[in-house]
Amino acid sequence: MTVDGQTLYNYNNLLPGRRYYQASLNVDGLKTGYTGPAGYCFVGTAQKMVITES
Protein backbone atom coordinates (compact mmCIF):
# COMPACT_ATOMS: atom_id res chain seq x y z
CA MET A 1 0.00 0.00 0.00
CA THR A 2 1.27 3.48 -0.77
CA VAL A 3 0.19 6.54 1.20
CA ASP A 4 1.46 10.02 0.33
CA GLY A 5 4.25 8.48 -1.75
CA GLN A 6 5.46 6.16 1.03
CA THR A 7 5.13 2.41 0.75
CA LEU A 8 3.66 0.78 3.85
CA TYR A 9 4.23 -2.90 4.55
CA ASN A 10 1.99 -5.11 6.66
CA TYR A 11 3.23 -8.41 8.01
CA ASN A 12 0.07 -9.33 9.93
CA ASN A 13 -0.70 -12.87 8.80
CA LEU A 14 -4.14 -12.92 10.48
CA LEU A 15 -5.60 -10.49 7.94
CA PRO A 16 -7.74 -11.76 5.03
CA GLY A 17 -5.64 -13.12 2.20
CA ARG A 18 -2.65 -13.80 4.44
CA ARG A 19 -1.02 -17.01 5.64
CA TYR A 20 -2.91 -17.70 8.89
CA TYR A 21 -6.26 -16.08 8.10
CA GLN A 22 -9.29 -18.27 8.73
CA ALA A 23 -12.76 -16.76 8.65
CA SER A 24 -13.88 -19.31 11.24
CA LEU A 25 -11.52 -17.81 13.85
CA ASN A 26 -13.76 -14.72 14.15
CA VAL A 27 -10.83 -12.40 14.88
CA ASP A 28 -12.37 -9.04 15.74
CA GLY A 29 -9.40 -6.98 16.82
CA LEU A 30 -5.64 -6.97 16.90
CA LYS A 31 -2.71 -4.68 17.53
CA THR A 32 0.97 -5.11 16.83
CA GLY A 33 3.81 -2.92 17.94
CA TYR A 34 7.36 -2.63 19.16
CA THR A 35 9.04 -1.04 22.15
CA GLY A 36 12.65 -1.37 23.25
CA PRO A 37 11.90 -2.98 26.64
CA ALA A 38 9.15 -5.32 25.38
CA GLY A 39 10.34 -6.06 21.83
CA TYR A 40 7.80 -7.04 19.19
CA CYS A 41 4.29 -7.40 20.61
CA PHE A 42 0.96 -8.78 19.49
CA VAL A 43 -2.46 -8.57 21.12
CA GLY A 44 -5.47 -10.17 19.48
CA THR A 45 -9.11 -10.73 20.31
CA ALA A 46 -11.64 -13.13 18.85
CA GLN A 47 -15.18 -14.23 19.48
CA LYS A 48 -15.95 -17.84 20.24
CA MET A 49 -19.40 -19.20 19.49
CA VAL A 50 -20.48 -21.90 21.91
CA ILE A 51 -23.44 -24.05 20.94
CA THR A 52 -25.03 -26.24 23.57
CA GLU A 53 -27.90 -28.63 23.16
CA SER A 54 -30.62 -28.69 25.78
Q: What is the pLDDT of residues 2-54, one digit of tens each?
A: 999 999 888 878 788 888 888 888 888 888 899 999 999 989 888 888 888 87
The pLDDT of residue 41 is 93
Q: Is residue 20 part of a domain?
A: yes
d(CA 53, CA 20): 31
Q: Is residue 53 part of a domain?
A: no
* Local structure of 52: helix, strand or coil: coil
Q: Is residue 52 part of a domain?
A: no
Question: How many separate domains does the chain show?
Answer: 1
Owning domain of residue 20? 2-46
Q: Is the model's pTM score more than 0.95?
A: no
End-to-end CA distance of the chain: 49
